[in-house]
A and B are shown apart, each in its own frame.
Chain A
């Protein structure tokens, strides 16, 4: 087996922490088969990670003490400031919602909004926040994932390769959408930014549309129809960054 670069301690460590690209991970996996000492080290590192979780994870299940909203040992002045800040956030939210409903949704009614943009944004916000279960089938079972999704959606589903843009496939899942099933593929950048591609059939009016842009809170989306399928790419990225990714995906799928 030849490796693109020698396997280093840093690779072994990044392997344990799930911070390698899929290609490099496969190389490390191969390397571990041939190097039992390294395999033992990785095993110990992973056990250590597990033990650390075992030690501290019980805190996650504790009820959050009321003092974290309001701390009894502190002066009232500080409480007031937290409450005031929260109130301002509430006001801001109401204003934001009002602006949103008058400027965005009112101008973009219709089936694409209902069946594509809205569910894609919702699914994005739910699953990108997941730490332990962001995807149903991880990228190391990519072949199985795509076969399964293709079968369920009755269309060949492929996963665009965004590694040149710095995004690696995390995996994907099958989702119920408004009136059909949908597939969600998730990608991740090194700094943790996650992008999801939402794909589904629909009784679309057109079989080809240009890229259209929309925003749901902090989530930016580009969506388009290509043949029988609707696509929505969602991320907390700037419009330009997201557009570039959309173009890359569009070209790869055609």
Chain B
């Protein structure tokens, strides 16, 4: 059991990263979500099956809390803030990169919840499609098709901003 608690602790940074991305950069709300997730996990450790993946279980808990509690309150606020370190530094060699990351951040923040969740669970957390499907409670085919649409959308968007910038430069 102590191993379990230790493993829980090890996952905290990743849970925080995911929650931060999920809540569009709102660090306070994200850590609240992580806190709720950990408390619920601790109180339900006896329900955790030995042969299942702890990480997937934690993300399932977090998803459920997000859907049932957080989303309702957060979505009423338009939280499309930029993180400070993502502000472009004009004139520097990295300015272009920062601009692109900022655009991407905005684009991801404006995605529908299910699209953002799938993208983050796969791209950021490196979870398998099957795991994502069971976390979100949707068929694996749905995960793959939504992911594909989301990526194409972001790809086009990033392509457009790149071209727009090139035109401006000319």
A residues engaging B (CB < 8 A)?
9-10, 13-14, 17-19, 41, 44-45, 48-49, 51-60, 62, 64-65, 67-68, 71, 74, 78, 81-82, 85-86, 89-90, 92-93, 96, 129, 131, 190-193, 217-218, 236-238
Contact = CB atoms under 8 A, between A and B. Distances in A.
Contacts of A41: 155
A85 B2 CA distance: 11
Interface in B22-43: 31-32, 34-35, 38-39, 42-43
Contacts of A129: 10
Contact of A60 (B14, B31, B39, B104): B14
Given A51-B104, A62-B16, A89 B147 contact: no
Interface residues of B, number: 54
A49 B17 contact: no
Interface of B is mostly: helix
Contacts of B45: 85, 89
A191 B43 CA distance: 25
A65 B13 contact: no
12 contacts: A10-B144, A13-B148, A41-B155, A45-B155, A51-B100, A56-B17, A59-B13, A71-B32, A74-B35, A131-B126, A191-B53, A192-B128
Given A45-B151, A56-B17, A90-B2, A85 B128 contact: no
Nearest to B39: A82
Contacts of B17: 56-57, 59-60
B50 A218 contact: yes
A211 to B, nearest CB: 20
A192 B131 contact: yes
A52 B104 contact: yes
B4 interface: yes
Give the most central of A18, A64, A238: most B CB within 10 Å: A64
A59 B43 contact: no
Residue in A41, A62, A68 whose Cβ sees the most chain B Cβ within 10 Å: A68
Nearest to A60: B13
A10 B146 CA distance: 11
B136 interface: no
B158 A48 contact: yes
B144 A13 contact: yes
A14 B148 CA distance: 10
A191 B126 CA distance: 12
Contacts of B104: 48, 51-52, 55
A62 B104 CA distance: 22
A68 B35 contact: yes
B28 to A, nearest CB: 9
Contacts of B56: 192
Among all A-B residue pairs, the 3 with the closest Cβ atoms: A93-B2, A92-B1, A59-B17
Contacts of A58: 85
Contacts of A217: 3
Contacts of A191: 53, 128, 130-131
B51 A237 contact: yes
- B1, B53, B108, B158 pick with most chain A CB within 10 angstroms: B1
Contacts of B2: 89-90, 92-93, 96
B53 A65 contact: no
Given A17-B126, A55-B108, A68-B16, 5 more contacts: A44-B158, A48-B158, A86-B5, A93-B1, A93-B5
A52 B1 contact: no
A64 B144 CA distance: 33
A13 B148 CA distance: 7
A236 B5 CA distance: 17
Contacts of B32: 71
Given A54-B101, A92-B2, A218-B3, A59 B16 contact: yes
B50 to A, nearest CB: 6
B154 interface: yes
Contacts of B35: 67-68, 71, 74
